[in-house]
Amino acid sequence: MSTSQLALYIGTPQYSPAQHFLLLLACVSCYQVRGLTRPDAMLLPGTLERVEWSKVNLTSPEEVKNLFQGCEVVIMFVTPADLHQVIQLTGSFVVAASETGVRCLAWVAPACPETSDLGKRLKTAENLVRSSNLETLVLRHAPLFSDLLERKKELKYRRTLSLPLGNSALPWLAPEAIAEGLYKWVLGEVNNEPPDVLTGPVQLTGDDIARELSTALVGNTNSRRFAQSRFHSIDLDSSGQLDAAELLPYLLELGYSCDEAREIIEAADRDNSGTIDFEEFMHGLQEHLDRILADVPTEVRYFDLPASAILYDWTTGGMDEKTAKSRLDLLSALNEYGLPEQKQELARWLGRESISLTAWANQYALDLINVHILPGRGILTLSEGSLEGRPALTTRLLQSNDRLLKKQQAWELMKMLFAIAQKQLAVN
């Protein structure tokens, strides 16, 4: 089967809708994918490895045109990091596509009321897409609370959710719905007339989101279910066996060196098969896991914070100021003007309902539980504390022989350890 060329721009490569789209595209062999991203973007292992990446200045059409040569389809994901210059980026993207023989162009962006300044900029960018002579798909979507939640350490370590929403309700939309619509359009399975705004059928307040997350945490702290979920998250090929290639990244991310990780793997491989099954993974740890999970906090509380506090929270948490300001402008506009309800329009276009918040929360609850299983060795827990007056992680390791080890590491040290581990992984 011959392959076609597809290019996509993602200012933030880890953006959830783009990640899910690439996962779907990996299931078919008819497209070779080129990825374009910002010069300062960070490329992490995972789905991105299937893409040939180039860091480009998207406002330079000539640079982009070289990468569009031979492509039938080009896609632009407008992420929060792009909102402050969305008109320039979109204009350059459309010009490059129009001058290189591209057949189809898709533009994916958050919906924002046109009465706001940000909404006016997004509408101008959208008109640039629609005025091209290409076959186009415009996907304007509801805010992705999933994207907001993934960035918040406070949710993992404090079980609090802070957003400037007041008591306003906004439509829930799972990132998978955006990815699926785009994927089906690329394959010709849906038309290019989606709903005006992609939204789910349910409007949610901050309290609603916190309540759903709490319910998911309660359900996922059952020890057997938790252990199986953790095992399956590491078992990337779904073979029912964990090999060193799957376990090493997991252990390195927890701060272990390559040598320490290999020692853990060798000790857990009780039958010397070269792989670890679920029974070896959990050997001698069931009672410890029961006890530890019983103490895991499951109640998430919502706090409505003023915009200035949210901006400070995001920037001190590592988000660059322009992205944080654009994200805040979007939420503020949505909070003030709202979005029209679309009810079942997305389901009619896609052919099925969007994933509910309940289903999404259950799917990702593992990411919010700071308990990690060291195969046959012990249970590692992380909690927030302080060390010499500075924010720190409190790390506890309960070994299978009931010995409790405890250590505290400042955030800066944790970052250093992770960086060292990533370098060791690259070398090995």
* Residues 404 and 291 placed together within one structural domain of the fold: yes
Residues 118 and 53 occupy one common structural domain: yes
Order of all β-strands in the sheet with 378-387: 371-374, 378-387, 390-399, 404-410
Residue 416: predicted pLDDT: 44
pLDDT (0 to 100) of residue 49: 62
Domain that holds residue 235: 222-295+377-425
In a domain, 353, yes or no: no
Pair (242, 128) in one structural domain:
no
Cβ(132)–Cβ(99) under 8 Å? no
- pLDDT by position in tens, the chain (length 428): 567 899 999 988 888 899 899 989 887 777 889 999 988 887 765 555 678 888 988 888 888 999 999 999 999 999 988 999 999 999 999 999 999 999 999 999 999 999 999 999 999 999 999 999 899 999 999 988 877 665 567 788 888 888 888 888 888 899 999 999 999 999 999 998 999 999 887 888 989 999 999 999 999 999 889 999 999 999 988 899 999 889 988 888 887 888 888 888 898 999 999 999 999 999 888 888 898 899 899 999 999 888 888 888 888 877 889 888 998 899 888 888 888 777 778 888 988 887 888 888 888 888 889 899 989 888 888 766 554 555 445 566 665 555 544 444 444 444 444 444 444 444 44
In the prediction, which pLDDT does 153 show? Answer: 74
Do 189 and 242 belong together in one domain?
no
The structure tokens listed for 223 are: 């020890």
Q: Is residue 109 part of a domain?
A: yes
* Greatest extent of the chain over all pairs of C-alpha atoms, in Å: 69
The verdict on 388 and 285 lying in the same domain is yes
Hey, what are 17's tokens? 């809708």
- What b/e sequence results for 19-28 when a residue is b if at least 16 CB atoms lie within 10 Å of its CB, and e otherwise? bbbbebbeee
0.95 exceeded by the pTM? no
The beta strands (E) that lie in 91-180 are given as: 104-110, 135-141, 160-163, 170-171
d(CA 104, CA 73): 5
Contact 149, 314 (CB under 8 A): no
Residues 83 and 16 in one domain: yes
**Strand partners of residue 404:** 398
Q: Are residues 131 and 46 in the same domain?
A: yes
pLDDT at 18 (0 to 100): 92
340-378 in b/e form (b: 16+ CB < 10 A) is eebeebbbebbeeebbebeebbbbebbebbbbbbbbbbb
pLDDT given at position 168: 84
Residue 50 forms part of a structural domain:
yes
Indicate which CATH number applies to the domain containing 228. 1.10.238.10
Is there a domain that residue 213 lies in?
Answer: no
Do 111 and 245 reside in the same domain of the chain?
no
User: 226 and 185 in one domain?
Assistant: no
Domains: count for the chain: 2
Asked if the structure places residue 313 within a domain, the reply is: no
Together in a domain, 114 and 29: yes
177 lies in the same domain as 248: no
- Cα dihedral sign, 317-321-322-324: positive
- Decide if 54 is inside a domain: yes
> For position 149, what pLDDT does the model report?
65
**In the prediction, which pLDDT does 428 show?**
41
Q: Is residue 207 part of a domain?
A: no
* pLDDT for 425: 43
Supply the CATH number for residue 23's domain.
3.40.50.720
The answer to the question of residue 337 being in a domain is: no
Contact predicate 44/10, CB 8 Å: no
Q: Do 57 and 140 belong to one domain?
A: yes
